[in-house]
Structure 1
Amino acid sequence: MRLHRLDITAFGPFGTTQTVDFDTLSRAGLFLLHGPTGAGKTSVLDAVCYALYGAVPGARQSPGTSLRSDHAPVGTYTEVVLDLTVAGRRLEITRRPAQQRPKKRGGGFTTEKAQSWLREYDPSNGSWKGLSRSHQEIGEEVTQLLGMSRDQFCQVVLLPQGEFARFLRADAEARGKLLGRLFDTRRFAAVEERLAELRRAAEQQVKDGDERLLALAHRTAQAAGDAAAGWPAPDGRPGDPGLAGDVLAWA
């Protein structure tokens, strides 16, 4: 996934529209998000998460909290627009949370429902094509392209407020499943399982052969009778290392 541009309007501490040009920032390959406490560093990460999943990380999405900036002018919509490339596709996601706006007729305010838009850039004609305005469809599309749920994205990609420490403290099984999805290790798991099957099959073949070998050794001992009194037959079990050599030397 590569972020190109983020427009934040009336969101968190940002009362007006602020634009983050990630293409410019990323030209050197690395950039630092820096500023004093309360400058809005975490809110930039929240805006990215909100654009992708329609929700912000953890407790900041708890009931009673508002995404709208207290500094926003009346009539300015709270909105996040994210331009990104993911899985080889250039997409633009626009999100507006449910919010109060002035009534078009008369005084007072009315609540406008949350809205989402998803568009895809077509390089053949240089235009954007609308794909969906459904929260559910956009959420499913983003989750499928990224291969992660919101919680997984917040734990692995966004690392604010000690969230990564919680990921590190997770048990091995939970981390294994998450990293397996993140790095798509299914093909390696398939190879591992195939090798395990071959190992089990070879092990069974060796045990079957050892059982036949021990049966022959038992018949040999019976045929030798007293002549083998000073040469006890090997007492190994099928699958023991070196059993075939021991039986051959005894015979």
Structure 2
Amino acid sequence: MRILAIRGENLASLAAPFSVDLAGGPIGATGIFAITGETGAGKSTILDALCLALYGRYPRVATGGRERAPDPGGDPITIGDERAILRRGATEGFAEVDFIGRDGQGYCARWSVYRARGKANGRLQNKTRSLTRLADGGSVGDSKAGLVDAAICELTDLTFDQFRRTVLLAQGEFDAFLLAAEGERAELLEKITGTAIYSEISKRIHAGAEAQRATVKELEAHRDAVGLLDEAARAEKHAERARLQAEVAGLSGQLADLNAALAHARRIADTRGLVAAAESRLTVARQALETHRPDSLRLAELDAVEPLREPARNAARAERDLTAAEAALVLA
């Protein structure tokens, strides 16, 4: 984000229209400058106009207080109402900021307010805000649609609180920082820059480290409580381990033999089951054979006379031929 220009009119002590060009002229060429002037000349008002145009608020009234102050319009306003920046006796005022957004394009953010009927004692009307592109004047959003705040945060990558803590440090907070004691300065700096979260992270890391140190000490105590064996005891333990390993090897061999015997017994049991099933089928077959024995004998007889079937047919044919021949003989 880069600020190009700040403009405004009828804001606090600045009655006449003003314009600060930060992109051209001596200021643009210098790159660094200071705003100086007498108290009440409007130095802070220029920075207020910057915040008003971008975010519709400025640090000096960014408070949730409910105290009310009189207004020429008749209705008192709260001390946190940014419309109170309108100069006394003025009927309208505005603040504008030209800037380059994150996308590299130029934009103009505007904040304005006016009094009813164009009179100095008219009732304050609602503020209006807009955001337009410098290149073509096209509107990016308006305050009624609620798009200006979202667009500003997107284009600047800063919320109002982040902007006033990093870009625009409020005068009261800076004075407090400069005059603070050395012990309080770090706390104020965290408050101004919003980096208190890092202190909290550091505290949590320290607490976690202490807890881990306590755990390590406890583990070391347990380790130290374990006694070490002398050389003779270690030799005895090694000998016992060798004896047990030998026993395990022997038992492993026995286990292999037992597993083989068990597998053989299972095969025998399976074979016996198959034999019993075969015997049962054989008994059923024998019973069926006894039941059908007459049919078997009849089939045996038929099988025995089957070879005589053709000679019998030939004999019958010969007898028919003989009868026919005798008849023909008698006729002859």
TM over 0.5: yes
**CA contact under 8 A between 1:155 and 1:163: conserved in structure 2?**
no
**Which residue number corresponds to residue 175 of structure 1?**
195
Asked if 1:2 is matched to 2:5, the reply is no
| Deviation of the 1:71 alpha carbon | 5.5
| Deviation of the 1:143 alpha carbon | 1.6
| Deviation of the 1:171 alpha carbon | 10
Q: Residues of 1 paired with 2:191 and 2:61: CA distance?
A: 19
Kindly provide the amino acid, as one letter, of the partner of residue 43 in structure 1. Answer: T
Match 2:57 to one of 47, 55, 58: 55
Unpaired runs of at least 5, structure 2: 66-77, 178-186, 199-233, 240-332
Unpaired runs of at least 5, structure 1: 179-220, 227-251
Look at both structures and tell me which one has the larger radius of gyration over its CA atoms: 2
| Deviation of the 1:101 alpha carbon | 3.2
- Show the 5 A alignment for 1:1-251: 1-23=1-23, 24=25, 25-59=27-61, 63-64=78-79, 66-70=84-88, 72=90, 75=91, 77-87=92-102, 88-97=104-113, 99-102=114-117, 109-122=122-135, 127-134=136-143, 136-164=146-174, 165=177, 168-170=189-191, 174-175=194-195, 225=238
Q: Report the TM-score when normalising by structure 1.
A: 0.59
| Deviation of the 1:52 alpha carbon | 0.8
**CA contact under 8 A between 2:107 and 2:132: conserved in structure 1?**
yes
Show structure 1 runs of 4+ deviating over 4 A: 221-224
The structure showing larger relative contact order (alpha-carbon pairs under 8 Å, at least 6 residues apart) is: 1
**CA contact under 8 A between 2:173 and 2:192: conserved in structure 1?**
no
**CA contact under 8 A between 1:83 and 1:90: conserved in structure 2?**
yes
Q: Residues of 1 paired with 2:48 and 2:118: CA distance?
A: 29
**Which residue number corresponds to residue 233 of structure 1?**
none
> What whole-Å deviation, never above 9, does each CA across 1:92-130 have from its counterpart, x for those lacking one?
011113x423269xx9735432111110133xxxx3212
- How many residue pairs match? The answer is 174
| Deviation of the 1:224 alpha carbon | 7.8
More helix by share: 2
1:112 is paired with a residue whose SS is coil
Q: Residues of 1 paired with 2:159 and 2:188: CA distance?
A: 14
More strand by share: 1
Q: Residues of 2 paired with 1:81 and 1:142: CA distance?
A: 13
Q: Residues of 2 paired with 1:12 and 1:81: CA distance?
A: 15
Q: Report the TM-score when normalising by structure 2.
A: 0.46
Q: Residues of 2 paired with 1:128 and 1:177: CA distance?
A: 41
Does the C-alpha gap of structure 1 residues 82 and 103 become closer, same or farther in structure 2, counting only changes over 3 Å? closer
| Deviation of the 1:222 alpha carbon | 8.2
Does the C-alpha gap of structure 1 residues 171 and 81 become closer, same or farther in structure 2, counting only changes over 3 Å? closer
Kindly provide the amino acid, as one letter, of the partner of residue 16 in structure 1. Answer: A
Q: Residues of 1 paired with 2:111 and 2:97: CA distance?
A: 9
